[in-house]
Structure 1
Amino acid sequence: MKELITAVRDGRLDDIPALLTPLDRAERRLVLTELKVMRKEMRSWPWGERTRARKAVLVAGAGCHAGAAGCATWIGAREQREWVRSPYPWVLEVLVGRDPAWLADLARRLTARTVESEAEYQLVLELVRMAGCPLPVSDGLVRGWAERVAGSRWQQRPPRPLIDILRAEPHLGVLAPHLLDMPELPPPVTWAATQDPAEHWPTALTVLSAEGLLDRSTLLDRCVTRLVRGGKTVDMRFCLQVLRGLELTDREEAARVTDWAAMAADGPSPVAGHAQEALARLDGHGELSIDRLADVSGSVLFRTEKKLVRSQLVLLGRVLRRVPSSAEELLPVVAEAFVHPDIGIQERALKLVARHLPATAPDVRKDLAGMASQLGAVHRSAARAVFGELLVDGPAVDAYEEVLPPVPVPRRLDPAPADTAELIEEVVALVRSRSREVTAFERALDGLIRCAHNARADLADALRAALAGQWWTEPGPQADIDRRFLRNHDGLQVVAASLLGRVSEKTVGDGRARWTTSDTCCHAALDGVLYARLWEAATVIRTGELPFLLATPTWHTGALDPTDLVERLLTYQKLGLTPGPADFGQALLRVRRTDGAEAAARAASLGTAEGDRLAAWIRADEPVAPVLRRHVETESPEPQGWFPRPARSTPRVLPATNGHPVIQQEFPRSFHWLGRPHSPRRQQCSHWGDTSPQWIATLPADGETLAAWLLPFLTCEEDQRGVAWPLPALAETDGPAEGAIHLALAYGLGARYPEDRLSAVDALLILAARGRLDANLLGGELSVLIDRELMKPSRLAAAARTAAATGAYQTVLSVLVPVLTALLAREQAPRGLSDLLGVAAECAEQCGSPQTGGIAGLAATAARGGSTQLVRQAARLEAACREAAG
């Protein structure tokens, strides 16, 4: 036993099987106990030594387990998989001679666990061979099989054809059909650059089905079931390719009419299109009843994909021509398309109803006329020609009322936790999650300072126990800890480490002396203000002198009530305390300056330097960095550093900012970047994908300044998601909302990705609800961006449609009017203009606003004639305008 343990510690895998053989069951149980202890010890070993020993522990433990359940748990433990070369051949060697039923049970249990690699698939396969049992199947096992098949293709040159590999698979009939049941298909299966069965999985499966190696009915049933269930686009494409390759017979298609109906109603567009084709074929063979057609058509005509809706109308028209008596049942279904958002679909539906209306009874005609009353103004004359006196105006509607979200109400921060246990709980949660949420961070930081002032020793003891296991609490050279903290302060950890004496006093002093360089980006500058506050807090918490911090916000936005700040300064004055420069500087940047005359007078009456500075700051009521009232074109800077932003070749429209001498003269050095003039030409940034609410909370009273600084990183970068995340927060900031905020909002409304446009829509509605939206200014910015090809009109149309769907039709229309005025004045209409006209027309129809009469060129565009969407939507908008004005 001792020799075995020594071999395990040394990582001698080849010696373990022979050393295990003479041990009886009791001895193996004792060895297993030592192996469990050793496995815990290894977590602190160097990586190379730990990896060798971990393999040996895995092999020896597998041989020592008497039960299949315990052995499967031991082998499948996640921490036992830290290796490059698989140890499973030695595992199989120590299991030789076990009862076949035991091996079969082990294979089943391992398969039920997470099988994540080809090596684990091979292990289960060998266990099945040794046990002589059927192969158990799981999603993980099939993933491992797919990886092994993909890897074996490239083990020969030239690569071995996929279909030949699959033909040779002994368990193909079990594994391949399971692919169609998995929640997500393995990537090696879905990737393909050709339809050649030598490389293409769907084609290979259908060929093997034709050869009899796969059961065709099983593949067919599972494909149809998966397509009805839905899933990722790539998985649906795979199943659809297999289904088409199976080439269903007429009888097979007829047996699945319910499935085709479900796919046509709810499936992704390609799946719904295939289902439509199947239904059309069934109709041609007389296998589709009128009732079933009416039922599925009612669902399809509500879809937004115009191609699917047009195809369904074609099918309905064909049936109506062939079976005129079906008009009374099918025409009410066709009339459902009268409310489709596309006016071309509405027109097709109206023509189809007009063609077959004489075959209907009077009561059906009356019902159809009632449904036609929902048609917009552009189709009103055509509908009256079809229905005559039967067509009545729609029911009287109430006066239009704009629907906007409630005005955001600032939420007051709860006081910092007074109870030490509650404070420790919040600090530990922030440290472990690395959250940047403003309210939790500010409460915890202020709470640490307060608790250190009142019960410093108790706080230190509680933090020492709660943060045990953090990297800086482990024994190690002090120089390494100091160096890492200087490189990255780690948020609240540097404050806690300073209290516990785990970071040296010299390092804390060096951290306070650091400052943001002049050529950095705004993100680093705003972070620099936070870092200065943290290093300052790390200094004062050592003594516990300060009773609280001055810069703790009053509201969740980061804003600070000037009355609260005056009260805090008064307490400092009574205690004879001097505020920390960084803490007081951040407090000034956060204080609300509007309607602060009374607070300014009280601050001036304190008779302290800080009170005078606060009074002067409130009375001046100036932005931190005035935004220049002009736009500048800038090329992206040349790539620099390790992580440069990708250069753009198209000049962007960006504002510059001026300097603020007070920031330069009276604030700490870490704040000086904020007071310098900045041009977007000089900004370098490596904050790819970073999102920090702390940036907004640094200047909550100067949204316009923040927008100007963040604008270079809010522009429509084609390769980045999430760039528009600050827009809703900017819309909630104080101060004027002028050119910079509206330009940032314009960029967001034309962003590439839907989630960015959704952020911009939220900001648009917030600005409108607060009464801070300048529709003409925003429309002008949008026109400039479209003119310079920095925005696609179709993306703006998608964002505008989303905003309008919330009920803000009047707001959206007021923004689109100046955009349409500019675009219709062009000699050549840009792509996507019809989409913008369609959204504007929908808004005009909903809110009944005649303001579109001021769009120059609208009437001329509508009068061109033809059937293009541009002309149709222009006519629709003009008709809505006339109706509103009439």
Structure 2
Amino acid sequence: MGYVIDAIRAGRDASVPALVARLSPARRRDLAGELPGLRRELREAGWTDWQRRGRMRNALLLAGAGCHTGAAAAAAWLASPVLRDWDGLPTARLLAVLADRDPAWLGDLAHRLAARAGTARDDYPLIRALVRVAGCPVPTGDAFVHGWAADMVVVRPADRRGRVLRLGAALRADPDAPALVARLFETVEPAAALTSYGDPEHSGHWPAVLAALAAEGVLDRSALVEGAVARLVRGGRPQHLRVFSAVLRRLELDAEEERRHTADWTVLAADAPSTVAGDAQQVLARLWAAGDLSAARLADVSEAVLFRPEKKLVRAQLVLLGKALRRDAEARHVLLPAAAAAFGHQDTALQERALALVVRHLRPGDTALREELRPSVEQLGPAQQTAAAALLGVALPDAAAGEPYREVLPAAPAARPQPPAPATAAETVELVAALVRGREPVAAEFEAALDGLVRHAHGDRAALAAALEQVLATGWQWEADEHGRVSVERLDGLELVAAAVLGRVRPADLATGPAAGRRRGHRGCVHQTLEEVLRARVHEVAHRVLTAPLPFLLATPSVRTGSVEAADLVARLDAYGRLGTEPAPNDFAQALLRVRRDPAAAPAAAALGSSAGDRLAAWLTASGDAADRLVRRVEEPAPPDAARPWNHAREGIRRLVVGVRAWLVPQREFPAAFHDLGRPATGTADRCWHWAGQDGLHRSVLPEDREVLAAWALPDVTGCAASDEAGGCAALPALAELGGEAGPVLHLAVATGLGARHAEDRLAAVDALLVLAARGELAADRIGGDLAELLALGTVKPNRLADAAGTAAATGAHATTWAVLAHALPSLLAAAGGPVPPGAGDLLAVAADCVERCGAAGPYPQGLDAAADRTGSSRYVAQARRLRTALTGTPAR
């Protein structure tokens, strides 16, 4: 047995099957008992000894497979993450070492491996080989089916005649294909092989191949139809459902098959993604044309479809209702109330089309039907309600009689207090462990944990160290040298302070602070600038734990946004003075950057009689306005730079940028780690390796300087509006909640975000807009002027702005939305005789709706008369006329 262990340690995996085969069953059981120790030895080898780990891994894997006599134990051994690498399991060698096992045992092993959802897909080659050897039924679990589907789309080796077998031939050659294809429609998540390889409409993709095999009789056609319909009804992301819709199109369902699934088409038309709903809507239209859809069922479908936001679907449904009403006038008692569901649609043109349909098909004696329709009139806009009441011959609802308009804004975000430092060492360790193991610590919790470590290290470092030892100090970054010390370069944040508490680092390693510019992508990286401040403060805290422990931190925020109240900082400096403690330079500098500039607190700071108190007093009375540091300009498109292809989408457009002039205060008065905060910035769109916006920890460095933070964030926001980037606007609501001036740069960033390509980014910008409005900080003329300039530059598209403005108005902020749009519209209305930008009519519709609802009488956008007087009946012209009517009270000419 010793020679097998020696072979494992030497990594001679090729010889392991033969060596294990020579062992008796008893010796194999004995060796199996030794293998966990060898696996532990492999785990503890350390990442630096990767060559030895690689040599041992396969040998140990093969030995365990051959020595475990139970299928459950063998499956657990093969699934061990310690024994796996990127190359997967060595199938051929595993089959060799298992060659003497009973077929029933091999089948049991195959099904146990297939039952492990986390590894079954990767282990598909071994599982399938074991199934073939054992002659057992094929597994049908989700992960195995996903692995099988991936194996089917892989190009096959050429056969003897030189042809390459692909998906169709692979499915024909697999006797288990019917059962496994059926499972493809039932897995919780669609197999990646269905959704990730090319266009589902291609003749060689799954839909076409499955339809062809169904025509040949290889697959059951009815099972494919039932499976595809059921999968669409289950729902999912549009890109995942495309392949199942394509299957139905390729199968070309006959009338009976379509009629059998009438209830399913109804559900899909109501709730499925728009492309799937459109297909279902067409099927329902065919069923109606064939007389297989009753008026009652059509009404049910119509009420659901007309509630959807997609204009194309709503228009098509109104057309179908018109056809149905012309064919059967008596159906109006059922169909007209359904058509009235479109009265609540956000698009006023569709409201008017639905109203015209209702008016066209009402009869003079339909008194009861008119009364049934009367409540639906409340859903129309104010301008349409009066017209509807006159056309339908009904009285206006009481609510429409004219209550004064009331703007609805969200409550202004309250300043939530910073959570206090944990009261005990155990609570501190629990919080530290949770944050270390999490991916992105929340700034408030990070500061509470850091302050807790400082306080309890000052009070009883030994007790804190004993508690930390039990939950931390694991992982490759904690690997110690022969003296029991860890590398400072491997640890960061709370772990570095914990290492100091545990005595795993030396003061000399921390005295010089962190290595400047570690992992810096380039000089213009704002993330690195802010990260240097955070890391310098942590290094300083860790150093003081070992040399002169601080009683608490000065820079711990007073509120969750990161700001420190001036009175709190004065009280902390007073406590430092009474304890005879000198402020730590980095901690005090961070406290100054976080403190609210309240001149009323300056006398109390000066009365402390310390240099720190005098410095705080001077800081509180100095100007904190960043406006003189910010320079706004239009940047012309830059020629493509082959060295920076990732920047082409940003630099190849005409755009607004905000540069930041040099700020000398950090360079003259603050420690070295803060110097880059004062460096000038061009404001151009250069990307860095972080590839993401500012997070809460970064924003907490300058929580009272949101103008500068907004200037640094503007390139990311512009990228979201001018290219296909996403996520760059996520920080806008948080920036709106910070302290300091809500000046022109923050307004420009929010305006740019309102034109972002992705809905999530536009929604973040709307949230920021409403936060500023709720706090009374929104300058509507400023942000509207920014939008006018951005529309002219092409950075913001009218259709995207219309969506964002409609979202803001839907919250009840009609007056606020109109106040912004009133200053933005002249940019679209200026060239009244030229081509109309796409989406301009939608933007005018939102503006008109806001004016009608809030009753505003101005301001009157320049160019509106010229747009309204254009010939034609396009949406742009119709909505311009509607807006003019709403502002002047004069009917359209």
Aligned to 1:305: 310
- Alpha-carbon distance between aligned partners in 1 of 2:464 and 2:559, rounded to the nearest angstrom: 27
- Alpha-carbon distance between aligned partners in 2 of 1:190 and 1:515, rounded to the nearest angstrom: 42
- Written as runs of structure 1 = structure 2, the 5 A alignment for 1:41-120 is 41-45=41-45, 46-82=49-85, 84=87, 86-114=89-117, 116=119, 120=123
- Alpha-carbon distance between aligned partners in 2 of 1:638 and 1:617, rounded to the nearest angstrom: 45
In structure 2, give the amino acid aligned to 1:38. L
Aligned to 1:610: 612
Task: Indicate yes or no: 2:885 matched with 1:879.
Answer: yes
**Which shifted more, 58-67 or 548-557?**
58-67
Shift of the 678–22 alpha-carbon distance from structure 1 to 2, 3 Å rule, reads closer
Asked whether the 8 Å contact 1:637–1:684 carries over to 2, the reply is no
1:784-811 Cα shifts (integer Å, max 9, x gaps): 1111111112111111122222221111
Shift of the 605–644 alpha-carbon distance from structure 1 to 2, 3 Å rule, reads farther
Shift of the 243–359 alpha-carbon distance from structure 1 to 2, 3 Å rule, reads farther
1:71-113 Cα shifts (integer Å, max 9, x gaps): 3222333333326274222333343454443333333222222
In structure 1, give the amino acid aligned to 2:604. R
Secondary structure at 2:480 match in 1: coil
Aligned to 1:746: 751
1:266-324 Cα shifts (integer Å, max 9, x gaps): 11222212212222222222211222111111111111112212222222222222222
- Alpha-carbon distance between aligned partners in 2 of 1:262 and 1:315, rounded to the nearest angstrom: 18
2:568 aligns with one of 564, 582, 588: 564
Task: Indicate yes or no: 2:844 matched with 1:837.
Answer: yes
User: How far 1:653 moved relative to its partner?
Assistant: 1.4
**Which shifted more, 120-129 or 580-589?**
120-129
Shift of the 198–58 alpha-carbon distance from structure 1 to 2, 3 Å rule, reads farther
- Alpha-carbon distance between aligned partners in 1 of 2:585 and 2:135, rounded to the nearest angstrom: 77
Shift of the 175–801 alpha-carbon distance from structure 1 to 2, 3 Å rule, reads same
User: How far 1:146 moved relative to its partner?
Assistant: 2.0
Secondary structure at 1:309 match in 2: helix
Asked whether the 8 Å contact 2:783–2:820 carries over to 1, the reply is yes
Aligned to 1:533: 537
2:719 aligns with one of 691, 701, 716: 716
Shift of the 706–82 alpha-carbon distance from structure 1 to 2, 3 Å rule, reads closer
Asked whether the 8 Å contact 1:377–1:876 carries over to 2, the reply is no
Task: Indicate yes or no: 2:33 matched with 1:30.
Answer: no
- Alpha-carbon distance between aligned partners in 2 of 1:392 and 1:719, rounded to the nearest angstrom: 46
1:112-162 Cα shifts (integer Å, max 9, x gaps): 222757773232223222332222212211221222222234768774343
User: How far 1:356 moved relative to its partner?
Assistant: 2.0
2:208 aligns with one of 196, 203, 211: 203
Shift of the 294–30 alpha-carbon distance from structure 1 to 2, 3 Å rule, reads same
Count how many residue pairs are aligned between Structure 1 and Structure 2.
Answer: 880
Aligned to 1:863: 869
In structure 2, give the amino acid aligned to 1:44. E
Secondary structure at 1:341 match in 2: coil
Shift of the 582–227 alpha-carbon distance from structure 1 to 2, 3 Å rule, reads same
Secondary structure at 1:405 match in 2: coil
In structure 2, give the amino acid aligned to 1:538. A
1:619-670 Cα shifts (integer Å, max 9, x gaps): 1233367334653536679979999755512232123334444433322233
User: How far 1:737 moved relative to its partner?
Assistant: 1.2
In structure 1, give the amino acid aligned to 2:54. T
Asked whether the 8 Å contact 1:813–1:843 carries over to 2, the reply is yes
Secondary structure at 1:417 match in 2: coil
Task: Indicate yes or no: 2:137 matched with 1:134.
Answer: yes
Aligned to 1:144: 147
Asked whether the 8 Å contact 1:761–1:799 carries over to 2, the reply is yes
Shift of the 541–789 alpha-carbon distance from structure 1 to 2, 3 Å rule, reads same
Shift of the 86–557 alpha-carbon distance from structure 1 to 2, 3 Å rule, reads closer
Coordinate RMSD, CA, aligned: 3.2
- Alpha-carbon distance between aligned partners in 2 of 1:33 and 1:636, rounded to the nearest angstrom: 67
- Alpha-carbon distance between aligned partners in 2 of 1:392 and 1:262, rounded to the nearest angstrom: 33
In structure 1, give the amino acid aligned to 2:91. Y
1:457-509 Cα shifts (integer Å, max 9, x gaps): 33334434432224454233789955x62xx7611233333344433433322
Secondary structure at 2:694 match in 1: coil
1:331-387 Cα shifts (integer Å, max 9, x gaps): 111122222222232233223223321286321133335534643355467646643
- Alpha-carbon distance between aligned partners in 2 of 1:362 and 1:423, rounded to the nearest angstrom: 73
Asked whether the 8 Å contact 1:512–1:536 carries over to 2, the reply is no
Gap regions ≥5 residues in structure 1: none
- Alpha-carbon distance between aligned partners in 1 of 2:726 and 2:384, rounded to the nearest angstrom: 41
- Alpha-carbon distance between aligned partners in 1 of 2:717 and 2:155, rounded to the nearest angstrom: 46
Task: Indicate yes or no: 2:185 matched with 1:185.
Answer: no
In structure 1, give the amino acid aligned to 2:525. C
Task: Indicate yes or no: 2:854 matched with 1:847.
Answer: yes
User: How far 1:216 moved relative to its partner?
Assistant: 0.8
Asked whether the 8 Å contact 2:629–2:663 carries over to 1, the reply is no
- Alpha-carbon distance between aligned partners in 1 of 2:133 and 2:631, rounded to the nearest angstrom: 80
Secondary structure at 1:714 match in 2: helix
Secondary structure at 2:656 match in 1: strand
Aligned to 1:349: 354
- Alpha-carbon distance between aligned partners in 2 of 1:250 and 1:476, rounded to the nearest angstrom: 76
Secondary structure at 1:653 match in 2: strand
- Written as runs of structure 1 = structure 2, the 5 A alignment for 1:646-661 is 646=648, 648-661=651-664
Shift of the 600–489 alpha-carbon distance from structure 1 to 2, 3 Å rule, reads farther
Gap regions ≥5 residues in structure 2: none
Task: Indicate yes or no: 2:341 matched with 1:333.
Answer: no
- Alpha-carbon distance between aligned partners in 1 of 2:831 and 2:463, rounded to the nearest angstrom: 73
1:775 aligns with one of 774, 780, 800: 780
- Alpha-carbon distance between aligned partners in 2 of 1:559 and 1:195, rounded to the nearest angstrom: 53
Aligned to 1:124: 127
In structure 2, give the amino acid aligned to 1:835. D
Shift of the 681–167 alpha-carbon distance from structure 1 to 2, 3 Å rule, reads closer
User: How far 1:764 moved relative to its partner?
Assistant: 0.8
Asked whether the 8 Å contact 2:868–2:877 carries over to 1, the reply is yes
Task: Indicate yes or no: 2:791 matched with 1:786.
Answer: yes
Shift of the 618–177 alpha-carbon distance from structure 1 to 2, 3 Å rule, reads same
Shift of the 566–637 alpha-carbon distance from structure 1 to 2, 3 Å rule, reads farther
Asked whether the 8 Å contact 2:638–2:651 carries over to 1, the reply is yes
Shift of the 476–198 alpha-carbon distance from structure 1 to 2, 3 Å rule, reads farther
Asked whether the 8 Å contact 1:627–1:655 carries over to 2, the reply is no
- Alpha-carbon distance between aligned partners in 2 of 1:642 and 1:819, rounded to the nearest angstrom: 34
- Identity of matched residues, %: 46
**Which shifted more, 289-298 or 157-166?**
157-166
1:230-273 Cα shifts (integer Å, max 9, x gaps): 11212211111111211222222212111111111111222212
Shift of the 862–329 alpha-carbon distance from structure 1 to 2, 3 Å rule, reads same
TM-score normalized by the length of structure 1: 0.92
- Alpha-carbon distance between aligned partners in 2 of 1:857 and 1:268, rounded to the nearest angstrom: 39
Asked whether the 8 Å contact 1:716–1:747 carries over to 2, the reply is no
- Alpha-carbon distance between aligned partners in 1 of 2:207 and 2:405, rounded to the nearest angstrom: 54
Shift of the 705–19 alpha-carbon distance from structure 1 to 2, 3 Å rule, reads closer
Asked whether the 8 Å contact 1:71–1:106 carries over to 2, the reply is yes
Asked whether the 8 Å contact 1:263–1:272 carries over to 2, the reply is yes
Shift of the 535–71 alpha-carbon distance from structure 1 to 2, 3 Å rule, reads closer
In structure 2, give the amino acid aligned to 1:582. N
- Alpha-carbon distance between aligned partners in 2 of 1:351 and 1:662, rounded to the nearest angstrom: 67
Asked whether the 8 Å contact 1:264–1:271 carries over to 2, the reply is yes
Asked whether the 8 Å contact 2:486–2:505 carries over to 1, the reply is yes
Asked whether the 8 Å contact 1:373–1:393 carries over to 2, the reply is no
Secondary structure at 2:551 match in 1: coil
Secondary structure at 2:513 match in 1: helix
**Which shifted more, 215-224 or 147-156?**
147-156
1:657-709 Cα shifts (integer Å, max 9, x gaps): 34444433322233233345443259774431153212221122222232233
- Alpha-carbon distance between aligned partners in 2 of 1:752 and 1:849, rounded to the nearest angstrom: 30
TM-score normalized by the length of structure 2: 0.91
In structure 2, give the amino acid aligned to 1:244. R
